[in-house]
Structure 1
């Protein structure tokens, strides 16, 4: 009845061990096309399977290869259309009978590699279905027209396996690349943020230094007022075109002085008939206490935003370790001992000197690493009520200022016995 080409399913369906439920007239309950197949129609049902099997195999392979709009099954309408195109007659009712008989044979012979299934949603044409194990269940689903035939364990074409492998590898590479770029972006952002934070912190501390310098210069001279206008200091340090841009730095510096600088007090004074904020330099009337370290204002250990990752030079310039009123003739030796005691003997300090006009201490170490250790030991600490700030100084500049400074050991040592404990 059908024009059949020999294919790999032929030997399977013609296996003598196949279960063929032949309809017997003397057996009650035999129903052709439901639970049995008339003997003369068995070959027609097998021929129908041989006709649809190549198309089912092609569709399944296309589905596994990811071809859109293709599904791994043949519905009853699909089978009837294929059967009518391959049949020697155009009797659609006979094709329907052969299909019913084929469904009975497939349920009884799962070893053929095909199964009858019920589609979960015939209207959406998706690939979800459930196997049918009983011929009685097939009859129930026929009325819903959601019965289909599919392969039990379809093989994937080699070309599809290769494409799927390449796609999987490509997807993995894409995901890894995206994650790598994301991590790289986060790292760059973090470095930028830390650099920005460090730069802003340095701007604030630099502004604090300049403010204190102006306050001391303007208030400590003979006959000078003991206070100075806050706005005057701002206008002196920041040009008009930069005031808006530097407002955040200025505000942070003002807050820092109010919170941490005990020698400066903010007041409201009448200046030229107008009330305005002023800074007053507070001088102590009590005898000068012995100089000592009073703690750290901000973090300077390795990894901190206030500590350069690499020490660029072996030379340092230290501010605020003394003031202009300090007339001690042995001041250089005193400060040298203070630095050596604070930093320890591993910094390999070659030379220490002071400049009274700028109230700065200069330190030269044997290596940039030693200078870095001194930087971390002193920068940001409170000493004798003053906030110590340290900056790196180029070696050539240092040698211009102190040409007689040594370039090799011996290293400096304390001129007095080391104290048992210091803060």
Structure 2
């Protein structure tokens, strides 16, 4: 070993250096020599190509690993967002069905006086959610109950004894007499920027709409309350210049208003402006109707060609700040 070190030192033109254990510090003596390094190694072309290919391969592998991690993160975030959107739709739909059940039960109580004017909350849940799905849907149900307690004034929660056992129950108390003048839009059920309303279609299949829960026929009074309902819709859709016909079904138990627009796009704009909003304490829902069916019900609508505008410019229905629901704040 000493002879080799001595030869290397005497022939610096060989381009060989002697290093200590850390491979960087030159060896101070023969006994400290551990590594020999070639300053300018001569490598065959194949070795150079192989070395370059491996360097590129490792760099690409590092980049691919980074892209893979980013892709997984994006997929997880999309899954969480889709899951939240689907859950919100379920809550929305469940709230609608609960309100319908309570309305129907109240109507039945008016006919059959032997019925109790309330329903146990667990009983309503059992009516809506199959047994095999109750544990899975418990979170959706809890959010629906919370949402109704915070936003639906027509349903009151109380405690009653049902067949000897104490239950939390819902009682339909309806609304108070109204002449329509104080009806206002109160905000969107799941946030003003939410686009996940139940049954929200990516396109507009027709230019006619059926709008539910705009009023409660049992409590409306006065001769022109329906005018205020029409004005509220036109004020909410004030940017929409394609509404040609509106009809308020004054006897509807569902508070229905029918709308015909100039084009399917105009109907889609009205749909997005109204569906899933609170109006006068009611959760408004909208669905599309076929043009032929609309004209069968309202023949005069076939001749409507002039866009409608509110009966005045006071914008009463937009006079209060929008309410933010607990689900939007959570």
TM-score where L is the length of structure 1: 0.61
Q: Residue 70 of structure 1 corresponds to which residue in structure 2?
A: none
Deviation at 1:148, TM superposition (A): 4.7
Q: Distance in 2 between matches of 1:364 and 1:273?
A: 53
Deviations 1:339-392 (A, max 9, x none): 1111213352233334414323333434454344333432333211222233x4
Q: Distance in 1 between matches of 2:10 and 2:72?
A: 63
Residues 318 and 389, structure 1, Cα contact 8 Å, conserved in 2: yes
Q: Distance in 1 between matches of 2:92 and 2:56?
A: 53
Tell me the secondary structure at the aligned position of residue 279 of structure 1.
strand
Tell me the secondary structure at the aligned position of residue 219 of structure 1.
helix
Deviations 1:107-138 (A, max 9, x none): xxx45423333334xxxxxxx24224xxxx32
Q: Residue 102 of structure 1 corresponds to which residue in structure 2?
A: 7
Are residues 115 and 342 of structure 1, via their aligned partners in 2, closer, same or farther at CA, if it must alter by over 3 Å? Answer: same
Is the counterpart of residue 167 in structure 1 residue 54 in structure 2? Answer: yes
Match of 2:92 among 205, 223, 246: 205
Q: Residue 267 of structure 1 corresponds to which residue in structure 2?
A: 158
Q: Distance in 1 between matches of 2:67 and 2:34?
A: 49
Deviation at 1:402, TM superposition (A): 3.8
Q: Residue 299 of structure 1 corresponds to which residue in structure 2?
A: 191
**Mapping for residues 142-291 of structure 1, pairs under 5 Å:** 142=31, 146-220=33-107, 221-222=109-110, 223=113, 225-283=116-174, 290-291=182-183
Q: Residue 292 of structure 2 corresponds to which residue in structure 1?
A: 399
Q: Distance in 2 between matches of 1:184 and 1:100?
A: 55
Match of 1:383 among 275, 279, 282: 279
Q: Residue 26 of structure 2 corresponds to which residue in structure 1?
A: 131
Q: Distance in 1 between matches of 2:201 and 2:128?
A: 30
Is the counterpart of residue 115 in structure 1 residue 17 in structure 2? Answer: yes
Is the counterpart of residue 321 in structure 1 residue 321 in structure 2? Answer: no
Residues 178 and 221, structure 2, Cα contact 8 Å, conserved in 1: no
Are residues 336 and 286 of structure 1, via their aligned partners in 2, closer, same or farther at CA, if it must alter by over 3 Å? Answer: closer
Q: Distance in 2 between matches of 1:406 and 1:157?
A: 87
Are residues 156 and 374 of structure 1, via their aligned partners in 2, closer, same or farther at CA, if it must alter by over 3 Å? Answer: farther
Q: Distance in 1 between matches of 2:231 and 2:178?
A: 22
Deviation at 1:213, TM superposition (A): 1.7
Aligned length: 306
Tell me the secondary structure at the aligned position of residue 191 of structure 2.
coil
Deviation at 1:414, TM superposition (A): 2.1
Deviates more, 1:333-342 or 1:399-408: 399-408
Structure 1 gaps, min length 5: 1-75, 77-95, 121-127
Deviation at 1:188, TM superposition (A): 3.6
Q: Distance in 2 between matches of 1:115 and 1:244?
A: 74
Residues 194 and 305, structure 1, Cα contact 8 Å, conserved in 2: no
Residues 203 and 268, structure 2, Cα contact 8 Å, conserved in 1: yes
What root-mean-square deviation, in Å, do the aligned CA atoms of Structure 1 and Structure 2 show? 3.4
Deviates more, 1:342-351 or 1:327-336: 327-336
Q: Residue 350 of structure 1 corresponds to which residue in structure 2?
A: 244
Deviates more, 1:234-243 or 1:377-386: 234-243
TM-score where L is the length of structure 2: 0.76
Tell me the secondary structure at the aligned position of residue 267 of structure 1.
strand
**Mapping for residues 73-92 of structure 1, pairs under 5 Å:** 76=1
Tell me the secondary structure at the aligned position of residue 171 of structure 2.
strand
Deviates more, 1:365-374 or 1:335-344: 365-374
Deviation at 1:191, TM superposition (A): 3.1
Are residues 99 and 248 of structure 1, via their aligned partners in 2, closer, same or farther at CA, if it must alter by over 3 Å? Answer: closer
Q: Distance in 1 between matches of 2:273 and 2:284?
A: 10
Are residues 357 and 104 of structure 1, via their aligned partners in 2, closer, same or farther at CA, if it must alter by over 3 Å? Answer: closer
Q: Distance in 2 between matches of 1:363 and 1:376?
A: 14
Deviates more, 1:198-207 or 1:151-160: 151-160
Deviation at 1:418, TM superposition (A): 4.2
